[in-house]
Amino acid sequence: MTSQNPFPIGSIPGDPGFESTSSIVTLDYTNHRGVRRLRRVTPERIWFGTSPYHPGDQWFLHARDEETGEGRDFALDSIHAWVGVGG
Digit-coded pLDDT (tens) for 18-67: 555 558 999 999 999 999 999 999 999 999 999 998 888 999 999 999 99
Residue 53 lies in a domain: yes
Residue 13 lies in a domain: no
Residue 14 lies in a domain: no
* pLDDT value at residue 20: 52
Number of domains forming the structure of the chain: 1
Structural domain harbouring 70: 25-84
Residue 71 lies in a domain: yes
Say whether pLDDT at 1 is over 50.
Answer: no
**For the domain that residue 76 is a member of, what is the CATH number?**
2.40.10
Question: Going edge to edge, which strands form the sheet with 79-84?
Answer: 71-75, 58-65, 36-49, 25-30, 79-84
* pLDDT value at residue 2: 46
Does the predicted model carry a pTM greater than 0.75? no
Distances (CA, A) of 86 to 11, 24, 25, 50: 16, 6, 7, 30
Say whether pLDDT at 80 is over 90.
Answer: yes
